[in-house]
Amino acid sequence: MAFFRLLYRSICFLVSGLLLLVPLLILAKLLGLPMGIRHGLYKAWRAFFLWAMGIEIKVEEGHIPNEAAILMGNHRSYADILFVFSATPTVFLGKAEVKSWPLIGWAGMAVDAVFVDRSNKDSRRSSREELAKRIQMGLSPVVFPEGTTVAQGLLPFNPGMFYTAAELDLPIVPFVLKYSDPEMAWVGEEKFVPHLLRMLQRPAWYIDVHIGPAFKGTEGEALLQEVRSWMEARVK
């Protein structure tokens, strides 16, 4: 049974993603179509993909913001981007190396994702400036302040985006993703392909999503502590 599930889901993943979604997104970008259309393509593909994978999203708390805000959440896997809200146009902040990944990196570039070299101070500053511009365009940046994945709890937060939010008076809406199966987290030295194959073989599973209120403040450190306290109370 697991073999046939893997075969079926692999075909769905490759055909719908590699042969359909990415080419359509790239074409839409080359034609200069607005982000709303590109977001609609991603939203339709996401709904099909989650259905094919047997994944259910359960919003247990809060609601999706109507206005652009910095969406900030815990980080369990590269797959987190599939589970973040599809009802509002978003732009993702990702590690520089993700840009070269097949499918995920290509799709990210097609929807104007912002990539950052976290070891480079200038790159970090430039990425924050780009995300601020995206908010002015009506897009909601998705930021994982831990900077990498972890199976449980929360890692220390990178403070830069909190100071940018305080300086520019931007709202931060935190969210927490809780996988029904903690083993689905992608951490440590595990390679991408083995983890993906493991995901494709799993029976149906779900993700609980908790969405917080909008946090604003004039002090970056205080804003960081408020957001972290809200997330810590729900990530356990």
- State the DSSP string of the chain: -HHHHHHHHHHHHIIIIIIIIHHHHHHHHHTT--HHHHHHHHHHHHHHHHHHHTEEEEEEE----SS--EEEE----TTHHHHS-SSS-EEEEEEGGGGGSTTHHHHHHHTT-EEE-TT-HHHHHHHHHHHHHHHHTT-EEEE-TTSS--SSS-PPPP-HHHHHHHHHT--EEEEEEEESSGGG---TT--HHHHHHHHHHS--EEEEEEE---B--S-HHHHHHHHHHHHHHHH-
Helix 2-13 with 192-201: angle, nearest 10 deg: 120
User: Which domain range does residue 14 map to?
Assistant: 2-235
Give the model's pLDDT for residue 186. Answer: 85
Report pLDDT digits (tens) over 85-105: 666 778 887 778 878 776 677
Write down the mean pLDDT value for the chain.
84
Give the model's pLDDT for residue 216. Answer: 95
Please enumerate in sequence order all residues whose Cβ is within 8 A of that of 105, keeping only pairs 6 or more positions apart, or say none: 98, 99
What CATH number does residue 146 fall under?
Answer: 3.40.1130
Farthest-apart Cα atoms in the chain, separation:
55
Q: Residue holding tokens 């480079």?
A: 120
Report pLDDT digits (tens) over 118-132: 788 888 888 888 888
Give the model's pLDDT for residue 87. Answer: 63
Upper half-sphere CA count for residue 153 (Cβ side, 13 Å): 2
Give the model's pLDDT for residue 172. Answer: 95
Give the model's pLDDT for residue 85. Answer: 61
CA dihedral 132, 128, 156, 232 (to 10 degrees): 10
Domains contained in the chain, number? 1
